[in-house]
Amino acid sequence: MSDDVEVADRDEQIFCARLAGKSVRLIAKRFGLTVEEASKIIEERCAPLSASMRRQELQLDLERLDALQTVFHEAAMRGDVASAAVYIKILERRALVLGFDQPASTRVSPIEVTVAPQETSTDRIRRALEDLARERLPAPSNGHGEEP
């Protein structure tokens, strides 16, 4: 087995262990890594959260709640107390997901909430080069060697 395949297999095992609920510290110890190394492997395997993904997950959650709500609403209306309790929990969850339980002054749309992208080392280098280029650009002239 090549080193690349062994590393990929190890990284997959690390990710699966984290999905199964193992602590990062325990995973790091098991694989002979630092906590930072194990965390980085796990983070690299996680899908980034985009606005589109958040919207899709929100829509799926609402669809699931709709399906459950229909079942428990009917039973609750027939007098089933346990179904009524579950039905109310579904309504509470829907209100929480949609942001209805927050005071109007602090309410935000769950779709509009985004994770700010982290600046990469490439971004920092590009910004530094642009700053240097701006510092070294000659002053604009009027074509006669004089500044306007």
CB 62 within 8 A of CB 94: yes
Query: What are 40-61's pLDDT values in tens digits?
Result: 999 998 877 788 888 898 999 9
Q: Determine the pLDDT at residue 40.
A: 94
User: Is the whole model's pTM more than 0.85, yes or no?
Assistant: no
- pLDDT above 70 (res 67): yes
| List of residues 6+ apart from 28 with CB closer than 8 A | 34, 35, 37, 38
- pLDDT above 80 (res 86): yes
Average of per-residue pLDDT across 58-77: 92
Residue showing tokens 């002053």: 139
Q: Determine the pLDDT at residue 121.
A: 80
Average of per-residue pLDDT across 104-114: 62
